[in-house]
Amino acid sequence: MKTLIFPFCLVFSILAYAQKDDIAIIPEPVSLVKKDGSFNLKDNTVINLIGNDKDAIKAVDYLTASISGATGFKWVVKNSAAGSAINLSILASKDNELGTEGYKLVVSPQSVSISANQAAGLFYGVQTFLQLLPTEIESKKVIKNISWKMPCVEIKDYPRFGWRGLMFDVSRHFFTKAEVKTYIDDMVRYKFNLLHLHLTDDEGWRFEIKSLPRLTTVGAWNVKKVGTFGTFSEPTENEPRDYGGFYTQDDIRELVKYAGDRFVNILPEVDIPGHSMAAIVSYPDLSCTAGSDKYRVISGEKFMIWPEKGHFYGLVDNTLCPANEKVYEFLDKVFTEVAQLFPFGYVHIGGDETARNFWEKSDAVKALMQKENLKDLDEVQSYFEKRVEKIVESKGKKVIGWDEILEGGLAPNAAVMSWRGIKGGIAAAKLGHEVVMSPTTYVYLDYMQSDKATEAPVYASLRLNKTYQFEPVPEGVDAKYIKGGQGNLWTEQVYNIRQAQYMTWPRGFAISESVWSPKEKKDWNGFVKKVEKHFDRLDISKTKYSPAIYDPSFEVKKDSAGVPVVKFVPEIDGLDFYYSFDNSSPDNFYPKYTAPLTVPKDASLMKVISYRGDKPIGRMIIITVADLKNRAGIK
């Protein structure tokens, strides 16, 4: 018998380790203790809701809907004090540590208990519960012959920040109501609670304002163009302007309710005074150049110049005129209806990238500057923002804007969304204003995720490991002013919901962990293991994502002879890279990368693929030698 003890103990320890290693919760909980055993989900399980919080049923409804599709099981839902197999309860005595969104989750072999101070906490506990189940729970179809087991655990969890957001630009390309719901469904799995909808821009006005019907009859439509945004030809007069769309007010109410049922607030953005071409096309007398025959809703053609330094320069006037009283009458109508449609306490007023070259030439703006003693155009825009704040506040809402609203003097009560790095957020916090961090350097989801040879062309890159370094509270800033953070998905080069998903995940995982999990619990290597397990979940749920973590980055320099030398830089450990310069497609029988490569003199293509062990795991990357030379500065 003694000879069996060691093998038995070894097998038991391996199984225990494997089971613990299978726990992959994103975002990482505050505390997680693994216990022995497992809970087996079965048909006709009783789900008991304890407490009389009217919103708690939302968590129960979400739970039953989420587990019915894959299991095919029926559920018995009760509301009693008696214990059942699965218990969701609002705590009778408040746990101050949990706050409004925290929860406790206890899984034993006999039962599951999720408890919270408020219904939102139950909902987030449900998200963790679902992540403990096998990956197949993500299936939309019934999966048979599977044991729906989850490991026994004790979890105590609550968010680091109350503002955990994703911005979805539905102006550059219109996304249907159903597609926005899909985006909401994707984000709540990872405990995001704020959807920032960028509803207006130069490419389209996307929601109905009943008192200003031309905003959607005219401003919501442009010419369909496909390719690289910003390089399209100027639309001709005979090209139909039938591409786009908008949300009716009933659509907005439906989306607000859909999000609210999932404990998500929707932040509406009306981007002003710049980025206003769709509004100006609809009502031309809102600009400082009224009567121009060049006003068109932009279809992706070049219409602005973005210098490396200084202010943006408009080739056509896409700005509301700060010296025009009709503008403020217009905005009063807009924000009256916005406030009625969106219950969230904040309204985003944009304020970014204002092309001021038409203001400089405007006699009306010059007269305004003299009248109001405004010394420069920064102060002109500040004058505009302060008047807009008064309008928004008169509707019972609070203003938030991009960090340009700091220039010339910040409106008295405005919150700032810091996007040009973190400096704007630091400045606003030191002035005692609320801040949401969304810096380009870490959380711009429109940036390329891998080498530009594999990605839709955008002006910058952002790898997952860089996003994971996002820290919402800058050093030296009082954390009480930092409401949280969010990722921003601009959609100039995002044409459909599949690409929107691809650009969001897995970088959205990293953002969720930065705004939910304790700072000290962040661990890149552990995070990567979880990401790969969640790739399996996304595969089953048919959610598109980027596999860029398996792609190397390429650093290209020229040697003393003027020949390009390529260094492969992996994002994660444990991969091998194989390459070719002979135009054929490499596999793991080809040369393996071990040191920087000197590009052969007559080669025209470099092809690279990544392997883990003997299985390909990455994409075939194809880069022309001409491109490599260009990257190395070789002419």
In-domain check, residue 269: yes
In-domain check, residue 162: no
In-domain check, residue 407: yes
Instruction: Identify residue 574 by its one-letter amino acid code.
Output: G
Residues near 298 by Cβ (< 8 Å), separated by ≥ 6? 202, 203, 222, 277, 318
Active site residue 353: yes
Residue 106: is its pLDDT beyond 90?
A: yes
For residue range 348-371, list pLDDT tens digits in order. Answer: 999 999 999 999 999 999 999 999
560 and 506 fall within a common domain: no
In-domain check, residue 5: no
Strand blocks (E) in 200-256: 200-201, 204-205, 221-222, 243-244
Q: What's the pLDDT band for 19 if we cut at 50, 70, 90?
A: very low
**Residue 85 belongs to a domain with what CATH number?**
3.30.379.10
Per-residue model confidence (pLDDT) at position 295:
86
Catalytic residue among 173, 196, 198, 275: 275
Per-residue model confidence (pLDDT) at position 2:
37
The answer to whether the beta carbons of residues 250 and 173 sit under 8 Å apart is no
Task: Determine the Cα–Cα distance for residues 103 and 128; give it in Å rounded to an integer.
Answer: 10
Bridge partners of residue 197, in order along the sequence: 168, 268
345 and 493 fall within a common domain: yes
**Residue 604 belongs to a domain with what CATH number?**
2.60.40.3530
- Secondary structure letter of residue 410 according to DSSP: -
Q: What's the pLDDT band for 312 if we cut at 50, 70, 90?
A: confident
End-to-end CA distance of the chain: 76
210 and 325 fall within a common domain: yes
Average pLDDT over residues 608-632: 97
Please write down the HEC assignment for all residues of 369-391. Answer: HHHHCCCCHHHHHHHHHHHHHHH
| Residue tagged 């860029």 (tokens) | 548
504 and 557 fall within a common domain: no
- Alpha-carbon dihedral sign for residues 127, 133, 136, 141: negative
In-domain check, residue 227: yes
289 and 436 fall within a common domain: yes
Residues in the chain: 635
Q: Please, where are the H alpha helices in 26-176?
A: 56-71, 119-132
Per the structure, the count of domains in the chain is: 3
CA angle at 193 for the pair 192 and 197, rounded to the nearest 5°: 100
Catalytic residue among 201, 434, 492, 513: 201
Domain boundary among 113, 138, 157: 157
Q: What's the pLDDT band for 292 if we cut at 50, 70, 90?
A: low
Residue 8: is its pLDDT beyond 70?
A: no
Catalytic residue among 55, 95, 254, 353: 353
Residue 14: is its pLDDT beyond 70?
A: no
Per-residue model confidence (pLDDT) at position 306:
78
107 and 47 fall within a common domain: yes
Burial label, 398 (beta-carbon count in 10 A; 0-12, 13-18, 19+): middle
558 and 501 fall within a common domain: no
Per-residue model confidence (pLDDT) at position 160:
98
In-domain check, residue 7: no
345 and 202 fall within a common domain: yes
Q: How many CA atoms lie within 13 A of 228 on its CB side?
A: 6
Helix axis angle for 56-71 and 119-132, nearest 10°, is: 20
Average pLDDT score over the chain: 94
For residue range 38-57, list pLDDT tens digits in order. Answer: 999 999 999 999 987 899 99
Active site residue 434: no
524 and 623 fall within a common domain: no
SS3 34: strand
Residue 291: is its pLDDT beyond 70?
A: no
Residue 4: is its pLDDT beyond 50?
A: no
Domain that holds residue 389: 167-541
507 and 562 fall within a common domain: no
Distances (CA, A) of 45 to 84, 354, 479: 8, 58, 44
**Residue 363 belongs to a domain with what CATH number?**
3.20.20.80
For residue range 392-414, list pLDDT tens digits in order. Answer: 999 999 999 999 999 999 999 99
Q: What's the pLDDT band for 294 if we cut at 50, 70, 90?
A: confident
Per-residue model confidence (pLDDT) at position 6:
38
For residue range 441-475, list pLDDT tens digits in order. Answer: 999 999 999 999 999 999 899 999 999 999 999 99
For residue range 234-263, list pLDDT tens digits in order. Answer: 999 999 999 999 999 999 999 999 999 999
Domain boundary among 483, 518, 541: 541
Residue 80: is its pLDDT beyond 90?
A: no
Active site residue 196: no
Domain boundary among 511, 541, 571: 541
Which two tokens mark 528?
């990567």
Residue 502: is its pLDDT beyond 70?
A: yes
- Alpha-carbon dihedral sign for residues 130, 131, 132, 133: positive
In-domain check, residue 8: no
Per-residue model confidence (pLDDT) at position 16:
35
Q: What's the pLDDT band for 83 if we cut at 50, 70, 90?
A: confident
For residue range 564-598, list pLDDT tens digits in order. Answer: 999 999 999 999 999 999 999 999 999 999 999 99
For residue range 177-213, list pLDDT tens digits in order. Answer: 999 999 999 999 999 999 999 999 999 999 999 999 9
Q: What's the pLDDT band for 429 if we cut at 50, 70, 90?
A: very high
364 and 505 fall within a common domain: yes
204 and 321 fall within a common domain: yes
Average pLDDT over residues 212-225: 97
**What is the DSSP secondary-structure string of 592-634?**
BP-S-EEPPTT--EEEEEEEETTEE-SPPEEEEHHHHHHHTT-
In-domain check, residue 52: yes
Question: What is the dihedral angle through the alpha carbons of 287, 291, 294, 297, rounded to the nearest 10 degrees?
Answer: 50
Average pLDDT over residues 492-506: 97
